[in-house]
Amino acid sequence: MQHVLIVIKTHNEEALALSRRVAHWLLERNVSSMTVENQSDAVMERTRCISPGCHERKPDLALVLGGDGTMISVTRKLCGTGIPLLGINFGRLGFLTPLSSDNWEEGLEEILGHGVSTVKRMMLQVKVKRRTKTVFDSFVVNDAVISRGAVARLIKLHLSHGHEPIGTLRADGVIVSTPLGSTAYCAAAGGPLVHPKLEVCIVTPVCPFLNDFKPVVLPMDRGVIINIDETASDVSLTTDGQVAFALEPGDCIRIDRAQSRLLLAGVSGDSYFGRLKEKGFFKER
């Protein structure tokens, strides 16, 4: 490992202070780094370069100082670059960030000694087709959510798995999540926890009305297609809780397995079930 990109949570003084410590720690081990702030407008502004010319070299690792939201935001910006991500948690849950401000040195020492081992996770790609035109296209790390707006009115949705109809749903909305995102809104809405190695998506209704529509796990060999009923109004699509798009009656939302993968740097001792227990998803009596 020769060069590290350090991405810090926007306007977080604690993360900024730690980034300076990490940068000098790396420099002492002959590893250059560049620190940037994660910008909400999808632009990473360069704030500091530790060694001359380091910005000209592709990073071997992106070290993200923030919570899950920052990790997801950075993932969308670096998707397809082949740069693995490693998170130091400054958020509340930190399911995607295995390191903390207390143990980051051990994690980086391991990588310096043994190289960057990577873990690939499936992402989704969501597109909105309006009549004959694609009007929205985005990668999804955790989930795509179709929900009602300010008016407390049910949405009528028609769901299909490829060409096979699933059914019609009247509800406050529907969540389509990745296995990695099954611990987020999906779990809060009563959906199952799904191991992140699986190539599936989880479709979970939000407050279905007069429907015995259970959450369903679907293989991603075919896309999930959701059509908005013609009478629906004030409906929105939100990806990863960060990007919102206003839907119109008749819109067709297609969700497929993305060609790009989320590339995470692995650290020893990071166990999926251990993480579930640590974050309170499994409680042993």
Positions marked catalytic? 68
**CB of 110 within 8 A of CB of 61?**
no
Q: Are 246 and 153 in contact (CB under 8 A)?
A: no
Question: Helix H segments across the chain?
Answer: 13-27, 68-78, 104-114, 185-188, 272-278
Could you give the count of Cα atoms lying within 13 Å of 125 in the half-sphere of its Cβ?
Answer: 10
Q: Which residue has the tokens 């499994």?
A: 282
- Would you say 87 and 66 are in contact if contact means Cβ atoms under 8 Å apart? yes
End-to-end CA distance of the chain: 43
How is residue 163 annotated by DSSP? Answer: T
